[in-house]
Amino acid sequence: MDTLEVIPSDNAPSPRSRPKWNRPLLVAAALLAVATLLAATWGLAAVVQSPAQREANAAAPAPQPVFAEVTSGVLADQRSYSGTLVYRDETGYAMPASVGAVRSVVTARPPAVGGEVDSGDVLTEVNTRPVFAVESPFDFFRDIGVGNEGADVLVLQEALVDRGYLAAADGQFGSQTARAVARWYQDAGYQAPTRQRGGESASGSSSATGSPDEGSDAEDSNAEAGSQAEPASDAFVPVGELLAISTLPATVIAAPAIGTHVGEDGANDVTLGTSTLVVRAEVPSTPEAGTEGVALGDPVTVVYGSEVLEAVVTTSESQPQADDGAPTMSVITAAWDTNAGDLDADRGETVTIQVLNALISDKSLIVPTAAVVSRGEGRGVVVRRQADGTLVEVPVAVAGTFRGMTAIAPDVANRLAEGDEVRVG
């Protein structure tokens, strides 16, 4: 009988061999299975909640107390307005129109901006003739010469007295004043116009001479009455060569250049003032007692950046009621004592002017009104947080309340101080 011999192949597996698993892979698979189970459990718990659990989760967190710091100061009704820095007594003036000329044009001697003008100075030249600045509370209204008398003659004579051309001012224009006028024009570099004693003007200058200290025009007129040798004409001052300025000396703030047409349509041709800065602002008027506004002498505060100056209202001019029914306003100016310093600012810059309408309380402790629990008129309690976090009630006297802040004083000294914290609400 034949015997069958089986020879195993090199590639056939051994009957005792088994597949071998990777141990790290088994560990990772186990961890993934655990994580999946936990996630599923949490998701199920989140979906399946009792009504009590859902309400608790939706509730807002418990409110925490709010605290405010105690400050110290003055509690007052103080309003702020916008103001502009201008020079004191800053005023615009229109040049007088040249009589009989087609137009009035600056032909020489333009005023130097920043320069000073005094009474009797030539302000500028118009149509080759001088325009003299004369201090006067009113505009000149006529030519002034021999035979005229009145307030306009008086202010003209006062300018001549100040400059040494006349001994005294009496309001009567005689030959003494005529001679002073002639010298005035001559020293300014011009020839004074002349007119006949009857009032007609004539070309040329007066030939009058003599000392300006030879008595008054009234005495001079009496002497002339008995004199046989009277001049045919005297120097006079045309109204077109006089510009009345309310306050002199003054600083030139703005001025026309050569070639500028002046004296037209009442426009301001030159602006004068002093070199001292003040604040001009528009604030509500005070037609009735106790309403908002300011009056002459009221203290105000001027603020420019970090600079603060105390000032006083020096002028106040009420404006007409507007057609739209808007509140009546006043234009005020406020000046500060030059000894207190000055603002580091220039004319035309904007500043803040603070107006004190009412003083609620002088130097006091100040807290939010919501921090004070009322205990009757003028009485209250605040809750102070101590250093260890505990709270203590502090009885206080209430001095006044304004715009959500209250001025208080503790009943017992040192129980409340600036910097302490009090509970609000």
Domain residue ranges of the chain, discontinuous segments joined by +: 68-75+361-424, 76-87+273-359, 144-237
pLDDT value for 320: 79
Q: Alpha-carbon distance 10 to 2, whole Å? A: 25
Of the pLDDT bands very low, low, confident and very high (cuts 50, 70, 90), residue 24 is low
* pLDDT of 334 over the 60 cut: yes
Q: What percent of the chain has pLDDT over 90?
A: 53
Of the pLDDT bands very low, low, confident and very high (cuts 50, 70, 90), residue 219 is very low
Residue 240 is encoded by which pair of tokens? 């077109």
Q: Alpha-carbon distance 383 to 378, whole Å? A: 17
Fold held by 76-87+273-359: Elongation Factor Tu (Ef-tu); domain 3 (2.40.30)
* pLDDT of 218 over the 90 cut: no
Q: In degrees, to the nearest 5, what angle opens at C-alpha 150 toward C-alphas 231 and 249? A: 100
Average pLDDT over residues 381-386: 96
| Cβ 183 vs Cβ 191: under 8 Å | no
Highest mean pLDDT among 198-207, 277-286, 290-299 belongs to 277-286
DSSP letter at 163 equals T
Average pLDDT over residues 279-306: 77
Fold held by 68-75+361-424: 2.40.420
Of the pLDDT bands very low, low, confident and very high (cuts 50, 70, 90), residue 289 is very low
Average pLDDT over residues 204-209: 37
Quick one: residue 235, left, alpha or beta (phi over 0 = left, psi -120 to 50 = alpha)?
A: beta
Strands 91-93 and 233-235: unpaired
Question: Which residues have C-beta within 8 Å of that of residue 164, sequence separation ≥ 6?
Answer: 212
Least confident of 57-66, 131-140, 167-176, 236-245: 57-66
Least confident of 98-112, 161-175, 195-209, 368-382: 195-209
* pLDDT of 249 over the 60 cut: yes
pLDDT value for 420: 95
| Cβ 354 vs Cβ 303: under 8 Å | yes
Average pLDDT over residues 66-93: 90
Residue 302 is encoded by which pair of tokens? 């001027």
Q: Which one, of 327, 299, 329, lies nearest residue 316 by Cα?
A: 329
Tens-digit pLDDT profile for residues 339-377: 767 788 988 999 999 988 778 888 899 999 999 999 988
Q: Alpha-carbon distance 410 to 384, whole Å? A: 11
Of the pLDDT bands very low, low, confident and very high (cuts 50, 70, 90), residue 49 is low
Name the pTM for this structure: 0.56
* pLDDT of 25 over the 80 cut: no
pLDDT value for 413: 86
pLDDT value for 337: 83
* pLDDT of 329 over the 60 cut: yes
Q: Which one, of 176, 182, 178, lies nearest residue 219 by Cα?
A: 176
Average pLDDT over residues 208-233: 50
Q: Which one, of 123, 115, 156, lies nearest residue 263 by Cα?
A: 123
pLDDT: is 56 or 319 the higher one?
Answer: 319
pLDDT value for 225: 46
Q: Do domains 68-75+361-424 and 76-87+273-359 have the same CATH topology?
A: no
Least confident of 76-90, 201-215, 279-293: 201-215
Computed over every residue of the chain, the mean pLDDT equals 82
* pLDDT of 267 over the 80 cut: yes
Q: What percent of the chain has pLDDT over 70?
A: 75
pLDDT value for 295: 81
Residue 352 is encoded by which pair of tokens? 């803040």
pLDDT: is 172 or 292 the higher one?
Answer: 172
Q: Which one, of 375, 382, 373, 380, lies nearest residue 68 by Cα?
A: 382
One-letter amino acid at 135 equals E
Instruction: Compute how many other C-beta atoms are within 10 angstroms of the C-beta atom of residue 290.
Output: 8
* pLDDT of 14 over the 60 cut: no
Tens-digit pLDDT profile for residues 114-169: 899 999 999 999 999 999 999 999 999 999 999 999 999 999 999 999 999 999 99
Of the pLDDT bands very low, low, confident and very high (cuts 50, 70, 90), residue 220 is low
